Amino acid sequence: MKIRSVAIVVGVALCLSACASGPQLAGSAAIVDNKVIPQSLVTEKVNEVRAELEQMPTGAVSQIPSLTLLSAMVLDHLVLEKILDKALQDQKVTITDAQVEAFKQNVFAQYGEETIRTQVMSQNGVSSKDLDKFMRMILSENVIAKLVAPNAAQADQTTAMVKYLGDLSRTMNVQLSPRFGEWNPNKLQADGGDITLSQPALATIPQQ
């Protein structure tokens, strides 16, 4: 079971990314709506995930994601967070911490807390300290999907939500450092990137 299975059940789907280069991107992983996402923040969060993954018991995850993949997933979440914040603001919706906590506990009850924590860490690049932010993004997508297509079937709501966020991202001038590729609003996902960065990471899960 992947987190996307959870997302389908609750009526959501995550992804993202961006485009462009130039002097304004120096030292930045991305710029979204004139707000900088520094490369140092991406590196910090990748290191947090790697440290947790390497402490997991043998067999808990089949393979630790490469540094390249982890970096891409982390940046995707950081960019998507800004897009979702703008979407909620435009829709005049506030999601409270209590709603996020209730949503998280519901997901835990359905699939198991350890299963979800391990899955979002290894397959989505989310550390334990950022799990609540990740759950907030999923809940936000669910809320937006219902707002933009209130009477549609669940699959159609997800499609409408992706289109809405993609169109919104076009107005936010999403730019990525060339190493991460270019923003594809139709996929809410980075396309391309420097293939020379796709070497597997050296770290492995320690034997116990």
Amino acid at the residue 39: Q
The reported pLDDT for the residue numbered 19 is 33
Residue whose entry in the numeric block shows the structure tokens 């998280």? 104
- 143 has pLDDT over 80: yes
For 65-80, how does the pLDDT look when each residue is reduced to its tens digit (9 = 90+)? 889 999 999 999 999 9
Tell me if 16 sits within 8 A of 190, measured CB to CB.
yes
43-48 average pLDDT score: 95
109-131 average pLDDT score: 94
Tell me if 43 sits within 8 A of 195, measured CB to CB.
no
Report domain extents, the chain.
3-197
Choose from 5-14, 45-54, 184-193 the range with maximum mean pLDDT. Answer: 45-54
Look up residue 193 and give its two tokens: 């990137």
84-92 average pLDDT score: 96
- Which of the residue ranges 26-35, 76-85, 101-110 would you say has the lowest mean pLDDT? 26-35
Q: Identify the band that residue 56 occupies on the pLDDT scale cut at 50, 70 and 90.
A: confident
CA dist 199 and 39 (Å) reads: 19
Look up residue 129 and give its two tokens: 């300290």
- Which of the residue ranges 3-12, 22-31, 148-157, 182-191 would you say has the lowest mean pLDDT? 3-12
Burial of 49 by CB count in 10 Å (0-12 exposed, 13-18 middle, 19+ buried)?
A: buried
Residue whose entry in the numeric block shows the structure tokens 């004139």? 34
Which architecture, in CATH terms, is 3-197? Orthogonal Bundle (1.10)
Residue whose entry in the numeric block shows the structure tokens 């485009």? 19
Single out the residue of 121, 126, 136 nearest to residue 10, CA to CA: 136
